[in-house]
Amino acid sequence: MTVSNRRGLWTALITNPSGVVGGILLLLVLGAAVLAPVLSPHDPNETRLNLTFQPPGTVGLVLGTDDLGRDVLSRMLYAMRASLEVGLLAVLLALVVGTFLGLMAGYWRKLDWVVSQITDVNLAFPYIITAVALAAVSGPSASGAAVAIGISQIPVMTRVVRAETLRVKSSDFVLNARTMNASGAWIVTRHILPNAASAIIVQATVIVPTAVIAEALLSFLGLGTRPPQASLGVMLSNAQSYISQAPTGAIFPGLVIVVICLAFNLVGDALSDALDPMPVPRKRRRLSRSPS
C-alpha cells in the first residue's frame, strides 16, 4: 500500500461515523485489557468474605464485589484481557490456515474440490458446536479454547479467500504474468494475496467478536478459562447462582461483551467501506434494479 493509499484509507476511516465510534471503543477496550495490571485497584483473585456482594459505588469498590468478595472491576479488566487474548489467537489461527487453504483452492483447481468438500462438511455444523466438541476433546483451558475456536472459523476464512482468489485470478495483470511464464507461487504471493488482503482484513474483524462470544460460552460451560482465573464467561457462570441477589455481577460482563463486539463490527464496517475499490453510487444502484 502506497503512502497516498494509506492517507486515503485513513481519511475514509476518520470521516466515517462508524469508524470513529468503533475506533474509540476499540481503543478503550484494548487499552483497558493491555493496562489491566495498572488499572486494577485490587488483586482479581483476592477473596474477602467480609465484603461479599458489596454494591457498586462502595468506597474503594467501583463496581462492587462478588460472592467471594472479589473486586468486580479488577476481575472484569483481567477478564477482558483473557477473552481478547483467546479471541485474537483464534483469529490468527483461522487467518493463517484459512488464507493458505483459500489461496490453494482458488488458484489450483485440482485442489479446489478437496478443499471445498472439507469446507462444506465443516460448514454443515454450526461453528459453536464444532468449537464445543473440540474444546471438550482437548480439555478445559484457555489455549484449548483458542485452538477450538480458531479451527471452527477456518472454513469461513477459506471460503472468503477462495472467492477473492477466483476474482483476482481472472484479472488482466494475472493473465499477463502467466504469459510471462511466472510461477504459480509467485503470482499468488505477489499479485493475488495483496489484492485479496482487504477482504481478509475485513473478515478478520468479523471473526474477532465471534471468537469472543465463543470464548465466553466455552468458559461459561467450563470448557475454556478455568476458575479462579477471570474470564467474561467465568464471571457470567459465577453470577447466575445469585442473579436475583446481585444482578450487576452478570450485567457488567454482558455489557463488556456487547461493547467488544460492537467495536469490532463498527471498525469492520468502516474498513469494508474504505477498502472497497469500486464503490457503487446510490443513484446507479437504483438504476441497476429498474428494468431496462
Residue 255 located in a structural domain: yes
Inter-residue contact 68 to 249 (CB < 8 Å): no
Residue 54 located in a structural domain: no
* Cell representation of residue 124: 454443515
State phi, psi for 280 to the nearest 5 degrees.
Answer: -95, 125
Q: Within the chain, which residues score under 70 in pLDDT?
A: 1-9, 276-292
Residue 48 located in a structural domain: no
String of DSSP letters for 177-194: HHHTT--HHHHIIIIIHH
Residue 89 located in a structural domain: yes
Residue 28 located in a structural domain: yes
Residue 290 located in a structural domain: no
Q: Which residues face 71 on adjacent strands?
A: 65
Q: What pLDDT does residue 35 have?
A: 93
Q: What pLDDT does residue 135 have?
A: 84
Q: Looking at this protein, which amino acid is placed at residue 267?
A: V
Burial of residue 135 (number of CB atoms within 10 Å: 0-12, 13-18, 19+): buried
Residue 149 located in a structural domain: yes
Residue 210 located in a structural domain: yes
Q: What pLDDT does residue 260 have?
A: 93
Number of folded domains that form the chain:
1
Q: What is the pLDDT of residues 198-251, one digit of tens each?
A: 889 888 988 999 899 998 988 888 888 888 888 899 999 888 888 888 888 889
CATH of the domain at 94: 1.10.3720.10
Range of the domain at 215: 12-40+69-278
Q: What does the angle CA 68 – CA 248 – CA 205 come to, to the nearest 5 degrees?
A: 105
